């Protein structure tokens, strides 16, 4: 069962600390004016949000995931002003609490549909009512957050959200590459020089690096070129067939081996021969 959906305050804070190896003081962030500290806050917050989206993926219907991504990203900015700051000075715990409450709000109000079973949700905000009078007084005198800090972190969050949209585009490209060449997951991983686990993480929402995105585009360009020789839908079978022009090798071996020049020349010769036969 997801701690973010069903854990108490202590469990949620512990979950947050487990997601990132290094802590960061919320007070240090709010007092500081260093871009480096703001960047560190954004990085920790975004890491927790990505882990939360991964953790919640099994409970959320497909159509609700884009909304949840936006709603949880906003938790990073909200954490700067969060009432939780009186309970937690570690950014990891603070963001985790804000993310957990937002996930529960979204599910409780039917804004997204759980696709798995969950128990009754614990309203984490009720815990704030247990704050001591000293903590309540401290809350009233809390330092103001520098506006430049809010602006910097907001920009970083928006950048990440835009990259999330790019992520969806590249998942579609990835599926086009897999089906167009007739690859299984291990072969697709070999083609992109990654592990099968990396691909599974992308599908669950993990980031695809710019280098891998570039590789996907290059291989798609090759696929488009091959489909000028062989009709789409027939290409996977042709790639698996031993070829006399390749000394009995299968063309798929050239695809996976990165020998584009030999592969294209083979198809060029094949279609030239067919047109003159």
Per-residue pLDDT tens for 142-188? 557 888 888 889 998 988 888 777 877 888 889 999 999 999 999 99
The overall average pLDDT reported for the chain is 83
The pLDDT score that the predictor gives to residue 275 is: 45
H-assigned helices in the chain: 3-6, 9-19, 26-31, 35-56, 65-79, 91-108, 133-140, 147-181, 185-192, 196-203, 210-226, 235-240, 251-257, 260-276
Contact 30, 145 (CB under 8 A): yes
Q: Backbone dihedral region of 182: left (phi > 0), alpha (psi from -120 to 50 degrees) or beta?
A: left
139: CB partners within 8 A, 6+ apart:
83, 85, 86, 131
Cα dihedral sign for 148, 153, 156, 162?
negative
Q: What are residue 192's phi and psi, to 5 degrees?
A: -95, 5
pLDDT 10s digits, 83-131: 888 778 999 999 999 999 999 888 877 776 665 555 455 667 776 655 5
Q: How far is CA 147 from CA 11, 52, 150, 153, 226, in A?
A: 32, 27, 5, 10, 54
- Is the Cβ–Cβ distance between 23 and 91 less than 8 Å? yes
Whether pTM exceeds 0.75: no
Mean predicted confidence (pLDDT) in 63-75: 84
| The predicted structure's pLDDT at residue 122 | 60
Location of structure tokens 């919640």: 56
């Amino acid at each position: 069962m997801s701690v973010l959906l069903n854990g108490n305050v202590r469990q949620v804070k512990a979950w947050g600390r487990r997601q990132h190896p290094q802590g960061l003081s919320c007070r240090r962030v709010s007092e500081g004016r260093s871009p480096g500290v703001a960047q560190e806050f954004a990085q920790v917050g975004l890491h927790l949000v990505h882990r939360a989206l991964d953790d919640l993926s099994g409970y959320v219907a497909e159509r609700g995931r884009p909304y949840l991504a936006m709603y949880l990203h906003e938790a990073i900015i909200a954490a700067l002003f969060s009432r939780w700051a009186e309970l937690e000075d570690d950014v990891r715990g603070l963001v985790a609490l804000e993310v957990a409450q937002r996930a529960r709000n979204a599910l409780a109000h039917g804004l997204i549909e759980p696709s798995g079973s969950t128990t009754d949700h614990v309203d984490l905000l009720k815990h704030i009512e247990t704050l001591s009078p000293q903590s309540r007084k401290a809350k009233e005198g809390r330092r103001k957050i520098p506006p430049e800090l809010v602006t910097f972190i907001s920009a970083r969050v928006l950048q990440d959200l835009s990259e999330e949209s790019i992520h969806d585009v590249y998942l579609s490209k990835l599926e086009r590459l897999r089906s167009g060449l007739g690859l299984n997951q291990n072969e697709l991983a070999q083609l992109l020089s990654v592990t099968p686990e990396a691909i599974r993480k992308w599908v669950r929402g993990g980031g695809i690096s710019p280098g891998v995105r570039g590789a996907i585009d290059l291989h798609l360009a090759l696929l488009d070129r091959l489909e000028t020789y062989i009709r789409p839908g027939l290409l996977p079978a042709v790639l698996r067939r031993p070829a006399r022009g390749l000394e009995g090798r299968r063309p798929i071996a050239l695809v996976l081996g990165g020998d584009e020049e030999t592969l294209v020349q083979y198809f060029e010769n094949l279609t030239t021969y067919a047109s003159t036969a």
